[in-house]
Chain A
């Protein structure tokens, strides 16, 4: 049975991505008691699935390592994984939460030796790699997964493989009878750091993500570039494994469009500018990127990066909202169709039909959680983000639960949220003397 101590001076942080880890750490490093609740088996969130960050082109796992070390060293943080908040009641300074914990089927005896994974045969789509490859039914989600503890896929329970896993473990770490649990927690303040999900590219019918193998999303490209990822870091196209040397990026794929997401997802321009360096990284001058855009939103000093990319002769910019994608069946090349706005007034034909090896949809960012449906008494805007509203009481959003934000701004926002939660806790503490 999971045991955690929580009082009305506890801050509950929901979500263990970079925003949630930041909010939890910043509060805990002020001496506050924090319970960090993560739905997945390990911390890290979306950023741990990125190959590189813009604009430095540095690696997200570098900061993750520091944050994990801070968490390991901090006794003020209790971590619950495979856990989801299902209900909240009460008010600022006095909340009650219901948390459901799914069974991991592996207890804290696990040493991450990997014997269980070696023993099993069954495989499942690897969600860490956006299902681009398979993983074992007993698995560590990724190399830096924390807690560093394996997971048994629930779909394997009841099969002979599950028994094999259990038999292989020398440390009695596998408990196939583990049951879901429900916890009741007290909290003085709650931080929703539930993050974002990529907009479902299948809904953008004209782009044929569901029909064309060589149309992928920006988040999938990140996994493909990772040497530990599904292609071993090879930039190849899914249809035939051919090197993807000529890549098109379609901006606002699902964003700034009344049919899909109304809002601008902020990160996609910079993400594509960053990704336009990937073909060059892999293929040198032979790598080519073409960015189809409405506006390039490289605000503040990100502009420096935009200018650097503009100076790169392997990258082309076409001001156009792509109308549709068709397929050249012979080559499997996707063909982008649309009007090049910068050709208007020139007398030249504005229309284009450009073939590329691979198309990357710069998919939009939407909140992971439907806060309206959860009925939390929060002020939620039309886009589904939590507004900063005094009426929210002791509940605050951090990171992409509050808006479409890049990592830097998400951390900034999460740090601010930590203080907002502390203000509530300190008021409770004062009142209780």
Chain B
């Protein structure tokens, strides 16, 4: 503890704390055991007077404020002091609200409060106000990879906000898939007719902008750095490579149409069977005149659109998902015919017509008004007929199988995301093999062949792979419903159909949102502020190089690929890529990683500060390490409902269960704790962990804690790890109480001193 630290301890007597607890004793403990410079009580600490009292002390030199009052989640506006470290002992939600107000309970309740004061005093000694590292950069320049409508929109929207953009496009011109369209689905009321694609307009605006640079026939061949200081090599077909510096990156690499040649049942070799982009080419060629079929140039009189061709299907090689836009696209394409000649027969063969929202339904209705025929049915096959492709289909409403010839058949095939190789597939495969999940292994092995065949989009020089992690089906989407842009690569955002199947309207919105996130990454990384979910956090992992054994656990376990290795194979933390979850700190076997305000010591010393009654006291001590995002709020809410739980627990909030270093458990058990409960978020495929892998890593590490317990000759039941949710307001107190019962059953730990 540095000499210039001056700790002030403040104990609130409001909300019943003064009546239920002996606050003089708390003050004394803070002084004598907590060794704080000054300790004060206040009847109503969060009042203006209380806050002023603390502020006056801060101006008199207090650098560290320990508040013994309500939960750290409450009264945050009042207890908001800049420039000092703050620790909060949760005496209200953590003690008096979860304990009965009875004479019998008074002693153990007081002990609980005493310990929380000890713990917070111990914690704060090891906290310092975080400061930025100084490795920040401010480059107001965004790299947009992909020059389709998503990339073009991102570039223009960012430029409109005053930021420079470079677009890197593989093709010889901007426009991407949207550039191949004749018209697009309308995005404005009254949503009745196909609209201009808008590509020409966007291209003109980009050409006119002095903030946007365009590289055509170009790819990104290397990306390094971090938000605020990315460096990218842009290589052009001509062979020249330029290196530019960027603050953030948007990947708008779009989609490829599913290869219709794989749908052999639909006679893909037939010239008059086309996919949706094929029809666009025909419509573009016709330019408002009669659309002619490819085989013989006959003006089409009768066209069938087969929806969900090779998608929403579990057949091998098909896409299991829905591409979202195809129903509206087929309606639009039917209108191409109807608007030239209303007598042309246009039939859409569908199972579910999916045109959601106000615009979607209006467009569908407009299709009906224009006499497009919608038929609920499933196409079985297409074969060459006498006058054109012959389609055999089941009419699901009349329950009959029909064979009919059309001049032209359009297959509504799906979107395949144009993502780079999945960086985690090999890891997943290895894990599936380890767990002997044979079915999954087969699937993953096939996927791996496919992924390895893909070209990298970003060529990141990251330790954890060249490209963006994927969610499912190759899409680089976020797993979070509330946070759709949160990727696992800080400062790199994906937008458009590479993220999720979507139509142009949604892609343009998505592009604009991604531009916001890119700008935000630039502005925050320049200030050393963390990105979501610990937005604004200035702390970052620091490490003691002398102690590092180069075991690489931190570089492997970081859920965000933030940590690289330097030339000497030491971890390189890349502060701006870090999300501050502390998973590296939890992983480090030699405990050389810490944050200024959160470290192995700050938690470890709090654990050790607890007073451990002797073996015969019948007062066990149970350590609860609770994820501050879900488990801890749930405990607060249990307290608001006045649920009771054991007075023998001592709860410590952690940034993420992934930050839990096993030394905390070992030390706790060695120093006489009788049990420990770890509360984290749901892990696995449907994870709810805000740091993606933190909870999973913690569970994995804790699966080995049994060995430690056995070595200590302790029962393995003494440590439990649970997946909980913020809604487990009733369940978490039960988990805690069950542990208390378990301890009662197996007895106290012999490690009391």
Contact = CB atoms under 8 A, between A and B. Distances in A.
Interface in A156-179: 170-171
Given A112-B74, A263-B357, A413 B509 contact: yes
B352 A296 contact: yes
A221 B236 CA distance: 57
Given A300-B501, A385-B358, A144 B524 contact: no
Interface in B513-535: 513, 515-517, 519-520, 523-524, 532-533, 535
Interface in B168-202: 187-190
Interface string B76-94: 1100000000000000000
A416 B512 contact: yes
Interface stretch (A129-137, A203-211, A323-331, A338-346): A338-346
Given A72-B76, A300-B501, A426-B161, A418 B516 contact: yes
A62 B321 contact: no
Contacts of A403: 357-359
Contacts of A321: none
Interface stretch (B104-112, B122-130, B443-451, B722-730): B722-730
Given A299-B322, A301-B475, A411-B484, A266 B356 contact: yes
A62 B485 CA distance: 17
A296 B312 CA distance: 12
A422 interface: yes
A295 interface: yes
A307 B472 CA distance: 15
A143 B640 contact: yes
Interface in B585-643: 629-630, 633, 637, 640-641
B358 A26 contact: no
B485 A405 contact: no
Most buried by B among A29, A73, A344: A29
Interface residues of B, number: 93
B321 A301 contact: yes
Given A66-B533, A109-B47, A416-B513, A341 B359 contact: no
A371 interface: no
A302 B502 CA distance: 12
Contacts of B321: 300-301, 303-304
A65 B626 CA distance: 15
A345 B398 CA distance: 4
A256 B323 CA distance: 22
B640 A29 contact: no
A262 B726 contact: no
B481 A407 contact: yes
B725 A412 contact: no
Interface string A62-84: 11111101101110000000000
A352 interface: no
B726 A59 contact: yes
A418 B520 CA distance: 11
Contacts of A69: 73, 533
B53 interface: no
A304 B482 contact: no
A303 B502 contact: no
A415 interface: yes
B670 interface: no
A423 B190 contact: no
A140 B641 CA distance: 12
Contact of A303 (B75, B157, B312): B312
A295 B510 CA distance: 26
Interface in A358-406: 379, 381-383, 385, 387-389, 403-405
A74 B730 CA distance: 31
Given A59-B725, A65-B726, A112-B74, 13 more contacts: A29-B524, A58-B686, A108-B77, A113-B14, A170-B14, A262-B362, A264-B360, A300-B324, A344-B399, A346-B399, A403-B357, A420-B157, A422-B516
